[in-house]
């Protein structure tokens, strides 16, 4: 599979080969990331103009576009500078004017010779009760009028490129496009009534009506599916490559997990049991596990992770659990240690803070296999750290950990099984786009004993009342978080907002009652402030969003979120999940600055209605779009040119099943359909995927 198949060469040629595209236009398009004839074909029209021929403009409701045959009448050149040039024309039933500004008379005499027939197309407007078309889009002799499309596609434009140029360029790019062998499963194609690839391209660039521009039009659906299928095929190849790297089967005995279950004060949920059995089955195979454990705030992911870690310890191996921050690593340690001890398992922590002799002692114990489970930050992957027999890595909070890092983890030379935990419920379509190379376990039930959180919306104009209520709550021994938003991107402003609020609350509630944490503080200070709050010395913690991930203070039962309208839905849901962890009834107050926009109000109301993170994330996707939900910067989301993740959710799941099945039946893509799929990967420039096949 040396290089791009010859049949695709014309599509990757230079833009100047296309009609209507000179060096200057080519430069403009290239600046807008349209670099090849294929990119031109993948720039689909976003709307269209009806240019069906009519007999007369008489019954047209102005302003609207009309195409009509006229007889050219008198010319009225402008009487003074800056006035328009007018040409009188008559259709089958009425007379109107064509109006031109800054036009040369001799040019217009040639274009519209008096007494002759012409077909004109443009927007009819009424001015001083006279119908007129200013600068018609088309003026052609009747014999050539076929050139005007009955329904003209309108392309997204870049300054300096006209619709006419795009129309010409797309036609000549279509002439370059070859007919390609079919890569879509024949049954699926027939069921969906999808056209062939070339037919679909021709159709999207020559729509007959507005309905052809919808994402659900068969030609558009097919081209979107090609894109999703190529993406899922790439992820499936990556998954196959990871699994091909021989894993070590870790067969659990159940001895340790039984002890832990006996020590638990509650019974795990069905969802937890299901996830554990999926993981145990994966661990027992010689294939590498690459699984995502997706669970809402408080659905009990940590217990599932511990069970998985205990399985590899039962099988004689070691496990590691990685957290994104030191605070979280310590918290995992506190949560897991008592349970691990009940099973007689050695659990240790390693972070950047371990120095000198203490660090050396831990490393020696790790290499000798005396530590069964290690909890830590990314520091656990430094060069000098050696395990005796590492079998499983559990990674907490995926977002900051993309496909590349997952691969790197595998490249540690050990056949490590990987379990990634995320507390961010992601809509299915996005989860498939982002983690399609992984198998997914979902925790969709809450363990018993978690109290629902009452959520209320309060305007900031009632701030004094809110502070008053908080004073009463603190007097009753309750603890509260007070979250301030990150103002713009400036951390300085952010710090002042939090510090101001801290000063005001300290004045209102008394010295020593209020603590403060923000991103600009030195680590040690931050940890100390958190520790005082966890110990219950301070009752109110003013914080920026540093607390959103995973902090666990069961006694904290009040969450105040200031300027809630500035936060994303998923983020608000994560923050709210910090309370409701103990027995006390919890509240979350969303303080908003009035007036709220329509969507702003809708967002806050969704939170008031439901605590189901998956439902919240679906709403978030519908309201904000794919890039925003995951935070485009770190999303790892592919850039789709045609597929629309919000409207074509179902297709992504079909594409995943289809891609995995194709690779299962034809791992080297050698059958005719497999060969066609290789062409698709080249077409979509998935070079990485192609390298994965060649390696295989």
Sign of the alpha-carbon dihedral angle for 23, 29, 34, 38: negative
Beta strands in 565-634 (DSSP E): 586-592
Rounded distance, CA 196 to CA 184, Å?
9
Question: Are residues 502 and 482 part of one domain?
Answer: yes
Tokens at residue 238, please?
Answer: 């990556």
Rounded distance, CA 309 to CA 394, Å?
8
Rounded distance, CA 337 to CA 260, Å?
11
Which of residues 148, 176, 199 is at a domain's end? Answer: 148
Cβ 99 vs Cβ 156: under 8 Å: no
- Encode 343-382 in three state secondary structure: CCCCEEEECCCCCHHHHHHHHHHHHCCCCCEEEECHHHHC
DSSP string, 52-116: -EES-STT--SSEEEEEEEEEEEEE--SSTTPPEEEEEE-SS-EEEEEESS--HHHHHHHS-TT-
Cβ 569 vs Cβ 426: under 8 Å: no
Question: Are residues 260 and 177 part of one domain?
Answer: no
Question: Are residues 274 and 201 part of one domain?
Answer: no
Helices (H), 486-536: 491-509, 523-534
Sign of the alpha-carbon dihedral angle for 641, 642, 644, 648: negative
Question: Are residues 268 and 414 part of one domain?
Answer: yes
Q: How far apart are the first and last CA of the chain?
A: 11
Stated pTM of the model = 0.67
Question: Are residues 184 and 73 part of one domain?
Answer: no
Question: Are residues 437 and 294 part of one domain?
Answer: yes
What is the SS3 assignment for 499?
Answer: helix
Question: Are residues 56 and 41 part of one domain?
Answer: no
**Quick check: is 627 in a domain?**
no
Q: What is the CATH number of the domain that holds 60?
A: 2.40.50.140
Cβ 319 vs Cβ 347: under 8 Å: no
Listed residue (566, 569, 574) closest to 629, CA to CA: 569
**Quick check: is 603 in a domain?**
yes
Residue 22 belongs to what domain range?
6-48+157-213
**pLDDT by residue (tens digit) across 536-560?**
899 999 987 656 455 677 788 999 9
User: If phi over 0 gives left and psi between -120 and 50 gives alpha, with beta otherwise, what is residue 99?
Assistant: beta
User: If phi over 0 gives left and psi between -120 and 50 gives alpha, with beta otherwise, what is residue 669?
Assistant: left
Rounded distance, CA 286 to CA 278, Å?
15
* pLDDT attached to residue 472: 92
**pLDDT by residue (tens digit) across 102-150?**
888 888 888 998 888 999 999 999 888 889 999 998 899 988 888 788 8
**Quick check: is 631 in a domain?**
no
Rounded distance, CA 661 to CA 658, Å?
5
* pLDDT attached to residue 211: 86
Question: Are residues 600 and 500 part of one domain?
Answer: yes
What is the SS3 assignment for 426?
Answer: coil
**Quick check: is 567 in a domain?**
yes
Residues of the chain below pLDDT 70: 1-2, 158, 245-246, 397-415, 428-429, 448-450, 486-495, 545-551, 621-638, 646, 694-696
Cβ 15 vs Cβ 26: under 8 Å: yes
**Quick check: is 245 in a domain?**
no
Question: Are residues 400 and 292 part of one domain?
Answer: yes
Q: What is the CATH number of the domain that holds 332?
A: 3.40.50.300
**pLDDT by residue (tens digit) across 151-180?**
988 888 767 788 888 888 999 999 999 999
Question: Are residues 364 and 337 part of one domain?
Answer: yes
Rounded distance, CA 380 to CA 255, Å?
28
What is the SS3 assignment for 429?
Answer: helix
**Quick check: is 319 in a domain?**
yes
**Quick check: is 465 in a domain?**
yes
Beta strands in 406-513 (DSSP E): 417-422, 439-443, 453-459, 479-483
* pLDDT attached to residue 51: 87
Question: Are residues 330 and 422 part of one domain?
Answer: yes
Which of residues 558, 578, 610 is at a domain's end? Answer: 610
Tokens at residue 176, please?
Answer: 């370059």
| Cα radius of gyration (the chain) | 32
**Quick check: is 592 in a domain?**
yes
Which of residues 568, 592, 610 is at a domain's end? Answer: 610
CB neighbours of residue 640 within 10 Å: 17
| Residue reference for tokens 């340790």 | 256
Question: Are residues 567 and 458 part of one domain?
Answer: yes
Give the chain's domain count: 4
Beta bridge partners of 454: 587
* pLDDT attached to residue 406: 55
């Amino acid at each position: 599979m040396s290089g791009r198949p010859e049949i695709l060469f014309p599509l990757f040629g230079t833009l100047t080969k296309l009609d209507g595209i000179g060096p200057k236009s080519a430069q403009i398009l290239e600046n807008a990331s349209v670099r090849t004839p294929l990119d031109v074909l993948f720039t689909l029209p976003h709307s269209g103009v009806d240019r069906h021929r009519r007999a007369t403009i008489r019954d047209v409701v102005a302003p609207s576009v009309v195409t009509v045959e006229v007889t050219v009448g008198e010319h009225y050149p402008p009487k003074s500078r800056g006035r328009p040039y007018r040409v009188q024309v008559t259709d089958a039933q009425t007379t109107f004017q064509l109006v031109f500004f800054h036009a040369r008379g001799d040019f217009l005499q040639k274009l519209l010779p008096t007494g002759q027939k012409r077909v004109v197309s443009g927007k009819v407007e009424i001015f001083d009760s006279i119908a007129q078309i200013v600068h018609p889009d088309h003026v052609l002799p009747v014999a050539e009028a076929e050139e005007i499309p009955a329904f003209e596609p309108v392309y997204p434009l870049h300054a300096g490129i006209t619709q006419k140029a795009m129309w010409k360029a797309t036609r000549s790019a279509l002439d370059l496009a070859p007919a390609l062998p079919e890569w879509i499963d024949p049954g699926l194609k027939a069921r969906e009534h999808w056209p062939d690839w070339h037919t679909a391209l021709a159709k999207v660039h020559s729509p007959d009506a507005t309905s052809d521009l919808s994402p659900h039009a068969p030609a558009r659906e097919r081209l979107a599916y090609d894109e999703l299928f190529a993406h899922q095929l790439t992820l499936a190849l990556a998954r196959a490559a990871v699994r091909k790297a021989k894993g070590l089967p870790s067969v659990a005995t159940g001895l340790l997990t039984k002890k832990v279950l006996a020590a638990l004060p509650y019974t795990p949920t069905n969802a937890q049991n299901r996830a554990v059995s999926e993981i145990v089955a994966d661990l027992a195979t010689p294939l590498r596990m690459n699984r995502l454990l997706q669970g809402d705030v408080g659905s009990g992911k940590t217990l599932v992770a511990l069970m998985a870690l205990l399985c590899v310890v039962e099988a004689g191996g070691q496990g590691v659990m990685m957290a994104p921050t030191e605070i979280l690593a310590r918290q995992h340690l506190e949560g897991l240690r008592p349970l691990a001890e009940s099973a007689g398992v050695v659990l240790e922590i390693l972070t950047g803070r371990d120095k000198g002799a203490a660090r050396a002692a831990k490393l020696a114990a790790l290499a000798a296999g005396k530590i069964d489970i290690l909890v830590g930050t990314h520091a656990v992957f430094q060069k000098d750290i050696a395990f005796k027999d590492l079998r499983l890595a559990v990674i907490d909070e995926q977002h900051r950990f993309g496909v590349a890092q997952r691969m790197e983890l595998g490249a540690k030379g050990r056949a490590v099984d990987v379990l990634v935990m995320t507390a961010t419920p992601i809509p299915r379509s996005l989860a498939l786009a982002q983690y399609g190379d992984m198998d997914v376990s979902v925790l969709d039930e809450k363990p018993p004993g978690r109290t629902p959180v009452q959520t209320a919306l309060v305007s900031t104009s009632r701030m004094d009342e809110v502070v008053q209520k908080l004073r009463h709550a603190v007097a009753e021994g309750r603890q509260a978080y007070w979250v301030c938003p990150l103002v713009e991107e400036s951390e300085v402003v952010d710090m002042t907002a939090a510090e101001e609020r801290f000063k005001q609350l300290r004045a209102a509630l008394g010295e020593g009652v209020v603590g403060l944490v923000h991103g600009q503080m030195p680590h040690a200070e931050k940890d100390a402030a958190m520790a005082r709050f966890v110990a219950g010395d301070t009752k109110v913690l003013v914080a920026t969003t540093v607390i959103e991930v995973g902090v666990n203070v069961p006694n904290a039962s009040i969450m105040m979120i200031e300027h809630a309208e500035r936060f994303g839905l998923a983020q608000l849901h994560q923050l709210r999940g910090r309370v409701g962890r103990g027995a006390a009834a919890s509240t979350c107050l969303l303080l908003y600055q009035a007036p709220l926009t329509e969507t702003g109000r809708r967002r806050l109301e969704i939170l008031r209605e439901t605590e189901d993170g998956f439902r919240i994330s679906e709403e978030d996707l519908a309201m904000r779009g794919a890039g925003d939900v995951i935070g485009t910067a770190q999303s790892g989301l592919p850039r789709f040119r045609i597929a629309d993740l919000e409207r074509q959710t179902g297709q992504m799941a079909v594409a995943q099943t289809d891609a995995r099945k194709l690779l299962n039946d034809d791992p080297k893509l050698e059958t005719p359909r497999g060969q066609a799929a290789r062409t698709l990967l080249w077409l979509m420039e998935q070079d990485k995927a192609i390298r994965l096949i060649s390696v295989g």
